[in-house]
A and B are shown apart, each in its own frame.
Chain A
């Protein structure tokens, strides 16, 4: 009996095996995550022309775009029938709503080696171990000089059969489009001579079309009738808005070309630097008008809810939440993407739903051009508010359009989306609003709000703001006034203490009034001597204090002189002198005075004092 040999090390195998399996598993999961996390990458291959002559060249552009900022270079297949020269690359980065997308365009010049039809379909990009293939294009190479159609060659000749220096062509890709179907208008300006500055274009009239500019193509060269023309190209997407024959008007382009050199007969012409400095001849080229016959859309099989959208579109829908509570909003985004007049795409119709209240939140458009085809994405945001708990269904969205490529009406639709709607605490059913909680009801039966209050409280005028009330401003200004007052008071005190002259001058009036009051008490015949002595003191002390000088030794003359020096009125000087003289007289002969003399003197001295107070002593 054959025995199966026992595997050596089998007892140790589980640990190592498990470890290995784990590592492999982790690697596999990691790889899966990495692959699944790989951002989308697109490779778009474009040729500037479909057909070229054998002695011409074509520009091949490979556009790689994706969410990564480090996009790899494309891998070109072997193209033995062409010489290939790299023309460099250009890159751009877009940041929309925090999402970064970048694109790089690699340019290659293809020089054909032989005539024929050559597919270019193996251009790819390897990124994160995945190969992303680009779209296939086809380049037709014809014999030298026959790349241009006969009509173009005829256009390049003038009536005398000479080759034109410049001319303009306008072509459309469709002569019998459907209404609202894109017609691509291409304007080409051919110029074989030197020109200055940027040519100035007058756009063609496109009455009856809704027009979008696709853009300008990079200038290229083309040989026509053995002459090398520089071609400037501009494309438009035209969407006819009515049926019948519509005319695209002439376009015109104006530029300045180098003038033809004259034979110099005048010897001074050697100083004519006109052409050298770029002066030339202004010329204008015009295209020929084009008439297109716009066809109506077929009536057969036209859906009832068709809104007139033409093109090729896809529709997708997404919701920002998959689980919500009753009465909480879910934003559903419907995106319609494709080629065609994206602005005319109508909002998908949402029927009345028992389970949801639906509100339209917003719509937006993002226009783009893919090659010559105009299109983009139109986004509608709808707010769905579930009325009841349970597993509800956001319905499928339908969108009808006419696809001119397939010549039939197409209905794009999405799948219904499940939505888990949960029931918040406290929900009960009622007949009117079956799945709404009493707390969540607005109206007379509403519960959950706190009751009214019965004390009105302090009522203030409407719109009153405390910051602007007079009371507030007053309270705030009081401390400022207090500070200013105390500071001024302190400064005054300090000055009075430090400056004797200032103190005497400031106190002169007060002292004089005091003495005058005392004099009034002495205004009697019996005390005439004391009265006049006091009046004398009033006058001399006041003037001495004001001038910070000693009152002793002041005479009538010196007082008069001092008053004159301070520009006192001469009458005042005379009055003062008279009063002082009267005082002197009365002090030494008081017996001859009557009560009337004393009263008159008192009156005079009061008048004089008022006058002296008006004199500027400082």
Chain B
């Protein structure tokens, strides 16, 4: 009885804390939106970042942050947060639109962008879907496949229907699982960054003394290939490489 009472009290306290946390984040978010509507973008950014740091991320939060930075004239951070929003929810049309729209403003447009045809094909398949959804679909297919195995080997049911079902399930599992792995590798394992500084010299080596290869511009997305203590070795979309100072870019 005492245990039951303790459990009930603990649950009630937890629910109250959770409720107050949710209420706090909602109030802070609403206040940030109000600042945005009043065109006080620095205050809006401050509050959005507070929600992000204290409570966590959401596609909407990233979208609003991107908008606030864009309106504040900071293209680099705008593209950064739109990219993060798109990664969390690629199916959101508003996010996709703002992301594409903002990228047009980069002073330097990448030309000669070379895409691996296989990667481009796989990307075209997985791009509209969220990683979470794909992961759960893979999980469901795995469950179905395992159920067929349980029926066959656990219960000893030998039938062509079970065999065909298992084969179909495993084929789907490999296809969806492979695509999920590809998306995970592309979106999370491949390190990317966005140039956030107005002037971002890209050098031939990891030092100030190295020659400048080209001038990067805010909003350009680069792939991080390696790093030293102060510099990232980055690969641009058109396959040009160089070293940029870490403080001039933000990792996605």
Contacts and interface: CB of A to CB of B under 8 A. Distances in A.
B56 interface: yes
A472 B57 contact: no
B215 A449 contact: no
Given A446-B70, A448-B101, A456-B60, A479 B142 contact: yes
B135 A453 contact: no
A462 B98 contact: no
Contacts of A440: 104-105
A455 interface: yes
Contacts of A485: 154
B148 to A, nearest CB: 10
A69 interface: no
A440 to B, nearest CB: 7
A444 B215 contact: no
A446 B73 CA distance: 9
B59 A457 contact: yes
Contacts of A489: 154
| Chain A interface size range | 35 or more
A483 to B, nearest CB: 5
Contacts of B94: 450-451, 453
Interface stretch (A107-115, A356-364, A415-423, A504-512): A356-364
Given A442-B73, A466-B135, A487-B153, A457 B107 contact: no
B50 interface: no
A172 to B, nearest CB: 31
A465 B131 contact: yes
A452 B36 contact: yes
B33 A452 contact: yes
A482 interface: yes
Interface string A341-375: 00000000000000001011110000000000000
B71 A460 contact: no
B64 interface: yes
Interface stretch (B6-14, B24-32, B115-123, B220-228): B24-32
A462 B120 CA distance: 28
A459 B50 CA distance: 13
A461 B150 CA distance: 36
A448 B67 CA distance: 11
Given A453-B94, A466-B136, A487-B153, A361 B214 contact: yes
Contact of B139 (A361, A449, A475): A475
A444 B74 CA distance: 11
A459 B213 contact: no
A483 B105 contact: no
Interface string B40-68: 01000000000110011111110110011
Interface in A455-513: 455-467, 472, 475-476, 479-480, 482-483, 485-487, 489-490
Interface string B94-133: 1001100110110111010000000000000000000110
Contacts of B174: none
A455 B72 contact: no
Contacts of A442: 70, 73, 75, 78, 102, 105
A460 B58 contact: yes
B154 A490 contact: yes
A452 B108 contact: no
A482 B188 contact: no
B182 to A, nearest CB: 13
B184 interface: yes
A476 B70 contact: no
A476 B109 contact: no
Contacts of A360: 212, 214-215
A343 to B, nearest CB: 11
Contacts of B158: none
B166 to A, nearest CB: 12
A383 interface: yes
B19 to A, nearest CB: 14
Contacts of B104: 440
Contacts of A329: 107-109, 111
B170 to A, nearest CB: 13
B16 interface: no
A267 interface: no
Given A448-B101, A456-B26, A483 B154 contact: yes
B146 interface: yes
Contacts of A405: none
A328 B109 contact: yes
A580 interface: no
B42 to A, nearest CB: 11
Given A450-B97, A456-B60, A457-B58, 11 more contacts: A329-B109, A362-B213, A450-B94, A453-B94, A459-B56, A459-B58, A463-B57, A465-B188, A476-B142, A483-B146, A489-B154
16 contacts: A360-B215, A361-B215, A385-B107, A443-B73, A446-B71, A448-B101, A451-B94, A462-B56, A463-B57, A465-B131, A465-B184, A466-B135, A475-B143, A482-B146, A482-B150, A487-B153
Nearest 6 pairs of A and B residues by beta carbon: A486-B154, A479-B146, A450-B94, A452-B64, A443-B73, A459-B56
Interface of B: 25-26, 29-30, 33, 36, 39, 41, 51-52, 55-61, 63-64, 67-68, 70-73, 75, 78, 94, 97-98, 101-102, 104-105, 107-109, 111, 131-132, 135-136, 139, 142-143, 146-147, 149-150, 153-156, 180, 184, 188, 212-215, 217
